[in-house]
Amino acid sequence: MTETTADNTLRSRWRVILAASIGSALEWYDFFLYGTAAALVFGDLFFPKSDPVVGTLLAFLTFGVGFVVRPLGGILFGIMGDKFGRKPVLVATLLMIGIGTTAIGLLPTYAQVGYWAPALLVAMRVIQGLGAGAEYGGAVIFLVENAPPRHRGFWGSFAPLGVSIGNLLAAAAFALVTLLPRDDLMSWGWRLPFLASFLLILVGIFVRLRVAETPVFTEAVVARGKIERNPAMQALRRHPRNFMVVLGARLAENGLGYLFPVFGLSYVINTLGVPKSDALSALMLAFVVELFAIVGFATLSDRIGRRPVYMFGALAGIAFAFPFFWLVGTKEWIWIALAFVIARAVVTAAMFGPQAAYFAELFPPQRRFAGFAFARELGSLLAGGPAPFLAAYLVAISGSWWPVACYAALLSGLTAVAIWCGPETYEESITVDNTADGAIQAAAVPA
């Protein structure tokens, strides 16, 4: 290989990483922005003022609406990704969620238009959810299918890394606007983070239009004539165990991934009375530490396997379910920060880091996008969507946090069972086809 060729290859690889991670960061900035706003302002702005608790519950319920439509988005765009390529779908999903988020920043409130306000909010949340249903899966597949065989975990980690960066940006944006006087925050300040997403999405589209289609899709699917009529149903029919492993593995990662930062933020501020600035700064610190932890756990999975690392995260979720509330219950910033750091950078990161490569490796190339996105987003519907609402409801009816801790431990236990039942994939090829019975015949990758 000449020096020029090597330089071009290096630039091409970094362009791929940039396209997936920046797009993922911008996408999830938008999606997580809603969760932060639901915890802080939407209960007052978009729902009747008769009961603040009811307003918060309704805000979290509309948060879950985005998850209801995510499996539909996963199926529709996943099928398109397996038929027409990964790149065009990544551009389309980025546009959808960007439009939905920007429009939220322009919506009238309940005080202005009554019940039309929450109805319009739900409509925008549906648009967000459809796009998000395939965005993350597409970004992961784009990275993994471009990755060197022995480094798929490391390459795949840039997609969840983008998610954490997006979460950090969303928390930072709201931390800034909460510095405004409350009247300004509630009248116009809350809109600024949503409107800013329009400029961010333009950057993401520009970057993604400059990358080529993945070689795996071009060579293993298109060139070999492996395009299927309904890859989503084929993935479910021919890989039922792997499909259920993805669904089960999502329960703790996604459920706790939203329960701790979304419900946890609301609980610390609204129930414990901790100042918004202290709670948000503690959460932002956790997101920063998580950036390094995700890459570390993903890289470790390239060495010892996806299952041991993922299992560690699930068991840590069981162990930390109760200590999280003990720590935040002190109302001291240092312990609140430690609680969020452990929840995000240890529990969630140990699952989120290896997850990208693991889920992609569970399906063959001709039905990878649809199988990955459909199974993953179905898990989101069962875990991440209802988690903040159920947690807030459990606290409201019990007056205590311990049912929420039991719920978190249950999700982690179910994920541990799913990982135990799943295959190990880190040494397998991702370019091969299936046998008649649907088992992936993946030859060991040469050193």
Q: Is 404 among the domain residues? A: yes
User: What's the pTM?
Assistant: 0.80
> Are 81 and 133 spatial neighbours (Cβ–Cβ below 8 Å)?
no
Q: Is residue 287 part of a domain?
A: yes
Q: Examine residue 428 and state whether it is found in any structural domain, yes or no.
A: no
Q: What is the residue range of 283's domain?
A: 8-421
Question: Strand pairing partners for 428?
Answer: 444
CA 288/CA 279 separation, integer angstroms: 15
Provide the pLDDT for residue 310: 97
What's residue 414's pLDDT? 95
Number of CB atoms found within 10 A of residue 237's CB: 12
Is there a domain that residue 440 lies in?
no
> Is 205 domain-assigned?
yes
Inside any domain, residue 436: no
Q: CB neighbours (10 Å) of residue 430?
A: 24
Residue 426, in any domain of the structure: no
**Which of left, alpha, beta for 22 (phi over 0: left; psi -120 to 50: alpha)?**
alpha
pLDDT tens, N- to C-terminus, the chain (447 residues): 444 444 446 677 777 888 888 777 877 787 678 777 776 777 778 776 655 555 665 666 666 676 778 888 888 888 888 888 888 888 888 888 888 888 988 999 888 888 788 888 888 888 888 887 788 888 889 899 988 888 999 999 998 888 878 878 887 888 888 888 888 888 888 899 989 888 878 888 888 888 888 888 888 677 777 788 888 888 888 889 999 999 999 999 988 887 887 788 888 988 899 988 888 889 889 988 998 999 999 999 999 999 999 999 999 999 999 999 999 999 999 999 999 999 999 999 999 999 999 999 999 888 898 888 888 888 877 876 677 778 878 888 888 889 999 999 999 999 999 999 999 999 888 886 543 334 433 333 333
Look at the chain and report how many structural domains it folds into: 1
DSSP 258-279: HIIIIIHHHIIIIIS---HHHH
Rounded Cα distance, 402 and 59, in Å: 22
DSSP 149: G
Q: What is the CATH number of the domain that holds 80?
A: 1.20.1250.20
In our burial notation (b when 16+ CB lie closer than 10 A, e otherwise), range 329-366 reads: beeebeebbbbbbbbbbbbbbbbbbbbbbbbbbbbbbb
pLDDT of residue 167: 77
Query: Is 434 strand, coil or helix?
Result: strand
74: closest CA among 119, 113, 131?
131
In a domain, 2, yes or no: no
User: What pLDDT was estimated at residue 434?
Assistant: 42
Q: Please tell me the distance from the alpha carbon of residue 384 to that of residue 258, in angstroms, as a whole number.
A: 6
Q: How far apart are CA 242 and CA 363, in angstroms?
A: 8
